[in-house]
Structure 1
């Protein structure tokens, strides 16, 4: 048994680090959501900011967009040209995806400075990519409403998770300590 632990030490370390970081960040995020009362920023600050940025981008590119609190659920309605098209819920704010990204990078950490910079830049890139994803989804819903299911359930999850996978792949092959050991 001891030989197996020695042989798979790096795998075990990765799994334990990933799980520990993921659980801690998820608990902290859950506490944030629990104590976010939604009075000033409905339903929570991050989801509110994502919605406002989606609204701003849609207006910049020529759509007449507005976002309003949903009266029946903790979400934000995105309205384009007086048509309610999509709603932005807490799950749309990319925070859970960023937690997953951070957990993986820390489990495959490299030098401290490189890891920190990559975590910050990668998280920002995921956040921006997510806002753009919602903007494009809203535009798609405006022009092609019959493709709602495929756009929301297939295309756009592939986009966000594909981006995260690419960032992970790039990290492991360029900066992680594991790559240095195998070089």
Structure 2
């Protein structure tokens, strides 16, 4: 048994670090969400909605994104028609947590790791705002394609982007990059 623990030590350290970081970050985020009342919407989601509205207005789209008066989501009206809702899960924080936990598990130098995580989270956030905006336009034009667009294509894009960041991290910056 000891032989296997020694042989698989790097893998076990990776898995242990990943799950520890993932659980810790998830608990911190959960505690943050618990500071809000049942029908309140967290500030991260509100800011993501506001940034999506700003982006769409910058692109000359007729869009209004506002808090639903009785439910914990943002209603998105596009060309005068309610098209989508932005809920807490749309803010991509769970994707950011997954990204950060993986990078921490393959950590490199402290400063490099921290900068890569921060820039990665920022780029995931920007991609997510673009995703919400594009999804709004596409669902307005193709409302029957919600499963394909929301359930398949856009998760593929955002998780594909995170995977690409992980590959860059492992090959260029992690302690295993040599």
TM-score by length of 2: 0.96
Report the alpha carbon displacement of residue 60 of structure 1 after superposing the two structures with TM.
Answer: 1.2
- The question of whether the paired residues in 2 share the 8 Å contact of 1:78 and 1:87 is answered with yes
Distance 1:15 1:146 in 2: 40
Distance 1:169 1:3 in 2: 30
Bigger relative contact order, structure 1 or 2, given CA contacts below 8 A and separation 6+? 2
Report the alpha carbon displacement of residue 70 of structure 1 after superposing the two structures with TM.
Answer: 2.1
Q: Which moved more, 1:73-82 or 1:63-72?
A: 63-72
Match of 1:11 in 2: 11
Deviation beyond 3 Å, 4+ runs, structure 1: none
Match of 2:102 in 1: 104
Report the alpha carbon displacement of residue 63 of structure 1 after superposing the two structures with TM.
Answer: 1.1
Distance 2:47 2:77 in 1: 16
Which of 73, 76, 94 pairs up with 1:75? Answer: 73
Match of 1:20 in 2: 20
Query: Residues 24-39 of structure 1 correspond to what in structure 2 (within 5 A)?
Result: 24-37=24-37
- The question of whether the paired residues in 2 share the 8 Å contact of 1:38 and 1:45 is answered with no
- The question of whether the paired residues in 2 share the 8 Å contact of 1:38 and 1:44 is answered with no
- The question of whether the paired residues in 2 share the 8 Å contact of 1:75 and 1:88 is answered with yes
In structure 2, runs of 5+ residues without a counterpart are none
Which of 130, 133, 142 pairs up with 1:132? Answer: 130
SS in 2 for 1:35: coil
Match of 1:144 in 2: 142
In structure 1, runs of 5+ residues without a counterpart are none
Report the alpha carbon displacement of residue 38 of structure 1 after superposing the two structures with TM.
Answer: 8.2
Report the alpha carbon displacement of residue 30 of structure 1 after superposing the two structures with TM.
Answer: 0.3
